[in-house]
Structure 1
C-alpha cells in the first residue's frame, strides 16, 4: 500500500496522525507532493523500511535542510519515478498536467498545491491530488491510500 500526502504546512498534529496511518496500513511507500514548509515534519514521514519520495512546493522555505534531512529524497518537481513496472510522475503545482495525463507514459500522476481532492483515471493512469493534509485552508485534512496493483485510490480524512 502506498500513501500520497501533500500540503502538510507544518501541521505537526496531523503529521502524528499520518505517522499512525503509515504503521496501521503497513505503507511501503510514501509520496509527499510538496509544501512541507520546514524539515521538522520529516520524522513522521521518513521511516526505516518505508520508501520515501518528495518534491518541493512553493511554500517550502528550508529547501537545503529538507534536502539534507531527507537524505536527498526531496527534489524539485516534476519528478519521474519508477517502482517495479510502474512509472510515476510527481509534482507540486499541476503545470502541464493535461499533457502529462494524455501522454500515456505514466501509471500514476500525483500532485498537490490546489488543496483540492482529485481522483480520476485518464486512460490507464490514475491521477491523484490527496487534498491538503494540514487542513489549514479547507478545514479538512486528507491523504490518499493507493493500491498500486489495482490502480485504486482511497481518500481518507485524518
Structure 2
C-alpha cells in the first residue's frame, strides 16, 4: 500500500495551485493523508476527486467551511497499522513524549503546522511524520511531501520528496 503524506498546502494564499507532480502522486497513491492548513475548499474538492481515499484534518488556518467537513484528528487502520492525522503537535522540544502520551494507541502519526519535515519515533509511542509543505517552504531549502509504503503491518520506506524551486 502506497500512502501520500502532505500538509500545509495553503492554496491559494502561498501558491495558486498544487504542483503537478503532487497531483500525479495523489492519483498513484492508495491513500492520501493531508495534515491540515488547506485554506480553501477547492483544494479539498480536488484531492477528493483525484485520490482513491483521502484522510484529512483541519488546521489552524482553515475556516468554518473546512472545519465543517474535516475533523481535528483522524484515525484509520491501513495495511495492519493504526494511523492518526493531526495538524499541530506543539514545539519540537518534547514532541516525542507528548505524542506518545496523547496517542499511545497509534503506530504512525502524521502531522503538519511547522512546514519542517520530521521523521522520528516516540519511545513506546508512534512514529512521527511531518511531510513539510509542497507549496510554502518557509525556512526550508525545498518544498516537500512524503510517500510511505506499508506492507504486512510494517511501515516500509519513507521517502521525503523535494519539489523543484519555483
TM-score with structure 2 length normalisation?
0.76
1:42 aligned partner: 44
1:126 aligned partner: 127
CA distance in 1, matches of 2:48, 2:142: 23
- Structure 2, unaligned stretches of length 5 or more? none
**Cα deviation digits, residues 41-72 of structure 1 (max 9, x gap):** 124422366110111000012x32x367xxx4
2:160 aligned partner: 155
- Structure 1, unaligned stretches of length 5 or more? none
Equivalences for residues 91-130 of structure 1 within 5 A: 91-95=86-90, 98-101=97-100, 104-122=104-122, 123=124, 125-130=126-131
**TM-fit CA distance, 1:153:** 1.1
CA distance in 1, matches of 2:97, 2:133: 21
CA distance in 2, matches of 1:27, 1:91: 20
Q: Select which of 17, 27, 30 maps to 1:28.
A: 30
1:78 maps to 2:73: yes
**TM-fit CA distance, 1:124:** 6.9
- Aligned in 2, Cα 1:98/1:144: closer, same or farther, shift over 3 Å? same
Stretch moving more, 10-19 or 113-122: 10-19
Q: Is the 8 A contact 1:18 1:44 kept in 2?
A: no
TM-score with structure 1 length normalisation?
0.79
- Please report the RMSD computed on the Cα atoms of aligned residues, expressed in angstroms: 2.5
| Partner SS for 1:81 | strand
| Partner SS for 1:17 | helix
**TM-fit CA distance, 1:80:** 2.4
CA distance in 2, matches of 1:157, 1:44: 22
Q: How many residues align?
A: 149
CA distance in 1, matches of 2:51, 2:35: 20
- Aligned in 2, Cα 1:97/1:125: closer, same or farther, shift over 3 Å? closer
